[in-house]
Chains A and B, each alone.
Chain A
């Protein structure tokens, strides 16, 4: 984009208007920042008030800077102006939609949508009617066929009827009716003003005047495309993440104003004691202050041992169970997937069908799966024990043995409860991992295998020396994501076990425990602290995996 030698009077006037607009914006933002504290704008929460003031103060400062930069014909003024106006436009649009009760009205659409489906069917029929045109070559290529025109009008009619049937007409009146209040009118006006300001700033003459370059336009377009996802990330992920970090230093119960407690929550989690036991069955109360600590476990050595006690024993039990779960669930989800993917990678007939079959558990709802497994695991009428009983009976009869039916209590025995969860998780995750490995396998150049064949390598050598090393990036990804997923195990335990903690807390996991604290024990602050400790544990494990992987020359290329 070339830099103009001089600016025409009209552009100059527009730029002056932009300077004025930025000053006005800054003044309005300052007023908005002060309004809640002066009582002009009621905001109940002090934190919300503070956040609003901070955001508007920053906006006011940037707007002021923008005014100065625009008056200097500096491009940073244009960027600031675009960013502020764009964000303000988004805010106004959201307020418009909220004031018109679009978000609350989703249920209404759900209720009426079905009744409009026949008309939607007419519209779809119109589309197919129009597309039939392709099968009937036209004499005049320049004009549209009557079939196409008829199809389009059928589509249009179908859509109009659909809109009428689902209540869109009522919706229009309802929406505008709701907007007819000060907040609605102001936000509509705001959206129009900010939209107009953005449009003006993107005009070529203004861009020239503010020394815009091609790279600047590319940057703007890039951020514009990124903005929906970025804003969503900031509002719905980063925001709550930071909020939970703040809550972890409070006694929040999610309902009342939280009190700052500093590191108390973390101190409670990490408050542990080790004590010597003089006898294997010595009670915990004899060696630790039982008003503070509970026994987590004991390591017996000879006639004594070491007692491990903690102020929050459930956290440590949950950590132990979670790590145990990861230790078993990850290999059982990854190794069979690797084997399966090699089998499914062969060009035998029906392999596509089997790929779909193995992938199905991954797309099925966890709740449904867990309920089905609950029935399978039932110790008295479950199919697993039934087949075990039938199998043992068969072998006993065949070989005249006297093997006792174990009648495994899968979910009610503390020795097998976690294993039952591991089996479900491995079964469910294996299919997805198989697909990932398959993708990795198909990226390995066939020439390597052909060369190995020429060199006389057998199947095992090819797998060990070509497949595994070449799959290292995929394996790393699969192991990392499966580990992270396993560290967050919750649904299977919550549905399968009754109570979810299992016999003697054998299936209590970290996410289950933080759910208990946050949603049932009214301890959102403490639950947030557990979540951050879990984050640190997962981060640490992933970091170790990264470092180990970096040592591998293959992944780094």
Chain B
């Protein structure tokens, strides 16, 4: 009897332990990370109000690519918590093995449990804004001393200040959907060992001499491809970014100028696509389209690997000599590069919009962006010489300037962006497999051009 009583008590304790310890407040200890960036002054006054009597809790989230980024964002959250009066910050990495970042975020937005501030890709801004899921911060921004939309790259800000009611952009549009966390662009990661072995010209020197164009690119690719049946001149991933640059560089693009209709069937777009197709089908210099090109590049089997700045941390582990060079110029005279970006936006249902806005500002200061950039995966979104100077010091690669050249104004990069007059996910869903059909040789460019816009134009509302 006594034994039975004791066992009952123990069983109850076990159950109670699971239940009651679940009630305890989590101990959020920020991991210790070293300060990794040069001190750059904040350009805006982030903290302007007197401390509130009681702190309000602000939850924020951004998509990290690895544990290192989670650590840095956690550290930044702790620091900003101390800097911003009246606010207690909680950083949530978001995403897990079972749910990707966007799916989890959308589910939480639908359930009303999303954080006060969160990051979304540039292509999602219209979908979130037109459904009233994110706050238009134009009014609170207008009341902020020192805030200027022109402090950021114009491409992202055109989209982030787009007012769908008036179809205007800019500081006076009456719309501000968020601020860009960072920007990025494509470059070609070079395996210099392969290029030297093949006796091909150094793309970096060609670029410096203004001779880095499609012909020069093809020449290097063919010479390196000749090294062996398992060595490739070029490799890229299978999504809209890599194939889009070839269309842009030939003067074409996905959409017409005001992004209200499909332009995949224009002569320029088809010419760009045809050149890219020839890399895979005619010249056979590229890793098969649709296969992940990063593993063979890291295995030393690809001479030129097209990817963004986000690939740098992974590439730093390879054991061959490598560097980067900007994309080759196409017939239009530019490389047709993208300006990739994502934005910190404010949950439309936040109870503390002003504090959330303070956080968004604080997360996009040159100082904060510098700390993130030090990891090597991002370029600051603020047009700040201090931030860019700091970025150039984060090597390898030695030729960091190639990334900055890609987003420079004279390179005329096309800003990634949403479709305010249609559905970007649906457009991508039509375009992606169709282009893959062309690049794998299953569809001709002519057949593609004859039908693609018949399908793709359906996703536009007008």
Q: Interface of A with B (CB < 8 Å)?
A: 100-102, 105-109, 111-113, 116, 144, 148, 152, 155-156, 159-160, 162-163, 166-168, 170-172, 174-175, 178, 253-256, 283-285, 290-291, 294-295, 313-314, 365, 367, 374-375, 378-381, 409, 411-414, 497-499, 501-506, 508, 516, 519-522
Question: A residues within 8 A CB of B83?
Answer: none
The distance from the CB of B24 to the nearest CB of chain A, in whole angstroms, is 4
Contact of B22 among A108, A365, A409, A516 (CB under 8 A): A108
Contact B13 A105 (CB under 8 A): no
- CA distance in complex: A453, B287 (Å): 59
Give the contacts of B407-429 with A (CB-CB under 8 A).
Answer: 423, 425-426, 429
Contact B13 A159 (CB under 8 A): yes
Question: B residues within 8 A CB of A170?
Answer: 23-25
Contact of B239 among A109, A175, A256, A498 (CB under 8 A): A498
Among residues of B, the one whose C-beta sits closest to the C-beta of A497 is B290
Additional A-B contact list (13), CB under 8 Å, known A156-B9, A162-B17, A380-B291? A105-B22, A108-B22, A109-B22, A159-B10, A163-B13, A163-B16, A168-B20, A171-B19, A294-B454, A379-B291, A381-B295, A412-B291, A414-B442
The distance from the CB of B169 to the nearest CB of chain A, in whole angstroms, is 23
Contact of B23 among A102, A414, A498 (CB under 8 A): A102
Contact A380 B230 (CB under 8 A): yes
Question: A residues within 8 A CB of B436?
Answer: 412, 499, 502-504
Contact A522 B131 (CB under 8 A): yes
- CA distance in complex: A160, B17 (Å): 9
Contact size range, B: 35 or more
Counting chain B CB atoms within 10 Å of each CB, the highest count among A156, A172, A381 belongs to A381
Q: Interface of B with A (CB < 8 Å)?
A: 2-3, 6, 9-10, 13-14, 16-27, 97, 102-103, 106, 109-110, 127, 131-133, 230, 232, 237-239, 287-292, 295-296, 299, 301, 423, 425-426, 429, 432-434, 436-437, 440, 442-443, 450-451, 454-455, 458
Closest 10 CB pairs of A and B: A412-B290, A167-B24, A171-B20, A504-B437, A171-B23, A105-B22, A166-B21, A175-B23, A109-B22, A108-B26
Q: A160-B13, A290-B454, A516-B429 are in contact. Are A100 and B291 (CB under 8 A)?
A: no
The distance from the CB of B21 to the nearest CB of chain A, in whole angstroms, is 4
Contact B288 A412 (CB under 8 A): yes
Question: B residues within 8 A CB of A499?
Answer: 238-239, 432-433, 436
Contact B288 A409 (CB under 8 A): yes
Question: B residues within 8 A CB of A111?
Answer: 26-27
Question: A residues within 8 A CB of B26?
Answer: 107-108, 111
Question: B residues within 8 A CB of A414?
Answer: 437, 440, 442
Among residues of B, the one whose C-beta sits closest to the C-beta of A513 is B429
Contact A412 B238 (CB under 8 A): yes
Contact A520 B22 (CB under 8 A): no
Contact A498 B238 (CB under 8 A): yes
- CA distance in complex: A131, B52 (Å): 60
The distance from the CB of B310 to the nearest CB of chain A, in whole angstroms, is 16
Question: B residues within 8 A CB of A314?
Answer: 429
Question: B residues within 8 A CB of A505?
Answer: 433
- CA distance in complex: A378, B299 (Å): 13
Contact B27 A255 (CB under 8 A): no
Contact A379 B288 (CB under 8 A): yes
Contact A498 B288 (CB under 8 A): no
**Contacts A/B (CB < 8 Å), 8 sampled:** A152-B6, A170-B25, A255-B131, A374-B292, A378-B292, A499-B238, A504-B433, A522-B131
Q: A172-B20, A380-B296 are in contact. Are A255 and B291 (CB under 8 A)?
A: no
Counting chain A CB atoms within 10 Å of each CB, the highest count among B290, B440, B455 belongs to B290
Among residues of B, the one whose C-beta sits closest to the C-beta of A103 is B22
The distance from the CB of B123 to the nearest CB of chain A, in whole angstroms, is 11
Contact B132 A294 (CB under 8 A): no
Contact B433 A174 (CB under 8 A): no
Question: B residues within 8 A CB of A160?
Answer: 13
Contact of B17 among A101, A159, A295, A378 (CB under 8 A): A159
Contact of B287 among A254, A313, A380 (CB under 8 A): A380
Question: A residues within 8 A CB of B432?
Answer: 499, 501
Question: A residues within 8 A CB of B232?
Answer: 380
Among residues of B, the one whose C-beta sits closest to the C-beta of A159 is B13
Question: B residues within 8 A CB of A256?
Answer: 131-132
- CA distance in complex: A366, B367 (Å): 42
Contact B437 A105 (CB under 8 A): no
Contact A516 B425 (CB under 8 A): yes
Among residues of A, the one whose C-beta sits closest to the C-beta of B16 is A168
- CA distance in complex: A501, B437 (Å): 11
- CA distance in complex: A197, B18 (Å): 29
The distance from the CB of B103 to the nearest CB of chain A, in whole angstroms, is 5
Contact B296 A381 (CB under 8 A): yes
The distance from the CB of A277 to the nearest CB of chain B, in whole angstroms, is 14
Contact A109 B18 (CB under 8 A): yes
Question: A residues within 8 A CB of B10?
Answer: 155-156, 159
Q: A171-B24, A380-B230 are in contact. Are A502 and B433 (CB under 8 A)?
A: yes
Contact B433 A503 (CB under 8 A): yes
Contact of A174 among B16, B18, B24 (CB under 8 A): B24
- CA distance in complex: A505, B442 (Å): 12
- CA distance in complex: A409, B286 (Å): 13
- CA distance in complex: A159, B14 (Å): 7
Question: B residues within 8 A CB of A148?
Answer: 3
Contact of A503 among B19, B102, B299, B437 (CB under 8 A): B437
The distance from the CB of A239 to the nearest CB of chain B, in whole angstroms, is 15
Contact B21 A112 (CB under 8 A): yes
Contact B131 A411 (CB under 8 A): no
Q: A102-B19, A109-B18, A175-B23 are in contact. Are A378 and B454 (CB under 8 A)?
A: no
Q: A168-B16, A412-B289 are in contact. Are A503 and B27 (CB under 8 A)?
A: no
Counting chain A CB atoms within 10 Å of each CB, the highest count among B97, B106, B433 belongs to B433
- CA distance in complex: A159, B12 (Å): 11
The distance from the CB of B286 to the nearest CB of chain A, in whole angstroms, is 10
Contact B458 A409 (CB under 8 A): no
- CA distance in complex: A480, B326 (Å): 55
- CA distance in complex: A380, B280 (Å): 14
Contact B425 A520 (CB under 8 A): yes
